[in-house]
Amino acid sequence: MSTTSTYTVKGMTCGHCVSSVKEEVTEVTGVANVEVDLATGLLTVDSDGPIDPAKIISAVEEAGYEVANQ
């Protein structure tokens, strides 16, 4: 079952920021597609099934950014 989750990422200021976040989140097991909107900070994650939000948040932090409180 396909699942879509959205998160708000704080601190992104350029295309490189977007690439870093996409790269880290894409590596999370089960993630099928990642979209990042620089203007709004919106991170949309499509996955094959439910993914623990902590794994997504950890990936964003690994990229050097922060997820706003959900």
Integer Cα distance of 36 and 17 in angstroms: 10
Range 7-28 average pLDDT: 97
What's the rounded Cα separation, in Å, for the pair 62 and 57? 9
pLDDT tens digits for range 23-65: 999 999 999 999 999 999 999 999 999 999 999 999 999 999 9
| Range(s) of the domain holding residue 62 | 3-67
pLDDT at 1 exceeding the cut of 80: no
Structural domain total, the chain: 1
Residue 10: CATH number of its domain: 3.30.70.100
CA atoms within 13 A on the CB side of 39: 0
Q: Compute the residue count for the chain.
A: 70
